[in-house]
Structure 1
Amino acid sequence: MRTGRTGTVVALAGALALGALAAPTAQAADTGVTVTNMVVNGGKTIVVGPTEVKRPKFSFHVTLPGRLTLDDVDVIPFLYRYDTTPAGAWRSGGILPSGVGCGDAPSGGYNCSGDFSVDRSTLDSNGDAATWKFAVLAKVWSGDEFKTEEYLTGLGYERVKRSARVTVNASPEPAVKGRPITVTGKITRADWALDRYVNYGGKQATLQFRKAGTTTYKAVRTVTANSTGDLRTTVTASYDGYWRWSAGGTATTSGAGSTADYVNVS
């Protein structure tokens, strides 16, 4: 690679140095560069709130054809949505890296790593809660002269989901044995267009109970939130213990679990 590119660690935040890395254009060709073993975020789903910045880590292995070295090639990973093209996502709307670093691998080739920057500038629609594919843009240079590029795809995929939250309150505290306890809560999820958490109406959540002195929660019943995301149910007070809500995830939204609310029963 040229000085200051992937051979050390390259800062690619903001405009991703697009003036240096994406401005040259040439007919795409088979560069001979291969990428394998790409892992993003440890294989776990990327869950993003309404305003936070997530920096999921990535790693991959790259092999170069015999005539090329790290001084000749940029290997820049990115994520693109299932309904876009790699080239289109690279220029606008893709999840791009903050930096990439590559070094010699013991078995040959190079091991590369870094992190992506996932924030409001990329996730500007709730429709972005979807499957994103892995790709690497390989750009070949001769000194400072750009030669060709290739989009390497079929490297895997990643789910990106909206973050969900749920609260809990059990009352009265303390409760009288044999009398009712009312357990309420509210479930919300990130809205990337509005930059805040919004009501998650119609979502089901399971009320769970853990008896004092034990370590295991047991499901009590499943409740469906009303249109404003409110949860409410009544149970009979029997034992001292902890009450909480648990909601499963969907294809677009993460699961959520509340903290526990302890109720003493007398």
Structure 2
Amino acid sequence: MRMRATLGVALGALALSALAVPAAQADEVHGDTAISNVVVNGGKPVVVGATATKTITVSFTVKDASGVDWAQAILYHGTDIESSDSGAVANGSDGRATCTVVSATTSTCKSTFDLEPGSNLVNSVAGGWKVWAIAAGKDADYTQKDNAKSFQVQRLSKLTVNASPEPVKKGKTITVTGTLTRANWDTGKYAGYTVQPVQLQFRKKTSATYSGSIKTVKTDSAGNLKTTTTATVDGYFRYNFAGTSTTPAVKATGDYVDVQ
């Protein structure tokens, strides 16, 4: 993957910085420099569709008694950054974070990163990612963290529902169909998410909330859903997918059925 080369270049440049920090080494602390309060994408999972590039912000706090000189973060997927199979270097000419002075000893640093389907995002890297971070004080102290923060990068999911017939007589059978799909970063399209448990839920016309699960249905080999239930009162049927580590939760928009 071409992002492997990009990561290598970025880390190589970092190793040749004024501090000469070994790039792919484990956590290191020299002096009193500290990194804390790392936040990725506002604390939410990063959900990316089939084609559009997603730009996210990573922020963190750096402290050093002498003041903060500079900081940098890199995103990666893998056990450690040295063996990573994908990642993202911060936007900007030098990849370093923009740090705003809060006090003589503290700065808040931020970077933006691009995650692009078909480039640094392929299906196999959905799930857990990490933030590699380094920061330096004005006295040449520094700290380096191989995993300053873990976060999820997920394939956008979509869910549909259709309940029929409409209208239907009370006591008759209603057939509820739907499809669960998710972004395929390898093809740039959406494809069925197979063999996944999905809850069928119901909301009475007079109620503002859906009941618990009527039943759980699994998607077939194409991501399709199909089940039956009995018509009792007017209301809305929907499917509700709880999500997985690689795919976010999603609820279908309710489909109204008039029971006569």
1:233 to 209, 227, 233: 227
- Cα deviation 1:147-172 (Å, max 9, x = unaligned): 99874334221111222211111111
Cα deviation, residue 133, structure 1: 1.4
Matched, 1:57 2:57: yes
Question: Given that residues 37 and 61 in structure 1 are in contact (C-alpha distance below 8 angstroms), is that contact kept between their aligned partners in structure 2?
Answer: yes
TM-score w.r.t. structure 2 length? Answer: 0.79
TM-score w.r.t. structure 1 length? Answer: 0.78
Q: For residues 224 and 147 of structure 2, what CA distance do their matches in structure 1 show? A: 42
- Cα gap change, 1:24 to 1:135, in 2 (>3 Å): closer
Cα deviation, residue 108, structure 1: 3.4
Which shifted more, 172-181 or 24-33? 24-33
1:25 to 1, 16, 19: 16
Cα deviation, residue 209, structure 1: 0.4
Cα deviation, residue 93, structure 1: 2.9
Matched, 1:159 2:152: yes
Cα deviation, residue 183, structure 1: 0.7
In structure 2, the gaps of 5 or more residues are 1-5, 23-28
Return the letter of the residue paired with 1:261.
D
- Cα deviation 1:39-85 (Å, max 9, x = unaligned): 1122221121211222222221112452xx55xx4312121223242
Return the letter of the residue paired with 1:202.
V
- Cα deviation 1:11-42 (Å, max 9, x = unaligned): xxxx89x79x9387264266644311111122
Question: Given that residues 25 and 148 in structure 1 are in contact (C-alpha distance below 8 angstroms), is that contact kept between their aligned partners in structure 2?
Answer: no
Match of 1:77 in 2: 73
Match of 2:110 in 1: 113
In the alignment of these two chains, the number of paired residues is 239
Cα deviation, residue 208, structure 1: 0.5
In structure 1, the gaps of 5 or more residues are 1-14
Cα deviation, residue 239, structure 1: 0.8
4+ aligned runs moved over 6 Å, structure 1? 139-142, 147-150
Where 1:153 maps in the other structure, the secondary structure is strand
Match of 1:6 in 2: none
- Cα deviation 1:225-255 (Å, max 9, x = unaligned): 1111110111111111111000111122222
- Cα deviation 1:143-200 (Å, max 9, x = unaligned): xxxx998743342211112222111111111122111111100111111111111111
Question: Given that residues 174 and 228 in structure 2 are in contact (C-alpha distance below 8 angstroms), is that contact kept between their aligned partners in structure 1?
Answer: yes
Q: For residues 209 and 24 of structure 1, what CA distance do their matches in structure 2 show? A: 58
Over aligned residues, Cα RMSD in angstroms? Answer: 3.0
Match of 2:251 in 1: 257
Where 1:22 maps in the other structure, the secondary structure is helix
